[in-house]
Amino acid sequence: MRYLACLFAGGNEEEVRSVYRRLLAVRISRRAGNVGDLPAQEAEAALALAGISAKEAEAIYRLTSLSNMQQRVVIPPMLREQAAEAEPEPVESQGPSE
């Protein structure tokens, strides 16, 4: 837990625990809904412990499981530096000063 906190949360272990509670709550609620081997009260308790609603759990599930690569990763456009160099200098494009 300490390693993950240093890696992702600036050493704040409680933030990592909070994220794990949310992910576990999403998993429990999805399992209770799809498989049906967990009671609904357990899923509701897990959501309450994580501090999220069923709607937020569904959004987390969709973002982490059903999103495509373009929604998950932002890849900067190629050759950004060359495009910036191709534009004229702002001072040159203003024209002569009076």
Domain boundaries, the chain: 2-73
pLDDT above 80 (res 27) = yes
Instruction: Please give the residue that has the higher pLDDT: either 65 or 69.
Output: 65
Is there a contact between 49 and 25 (Cβ–Cβ < 8 Å)? yes
Sign of CA dihedral 72, 75, 16, 50: negative
Lowest-pLDDT range of 16-20, 31-35, 65-69, 90-94: 90-94
- Stretch (H or E) spanning 62: none
> Which has the closest alpha carbon to 13: 4, 21, 26?
4
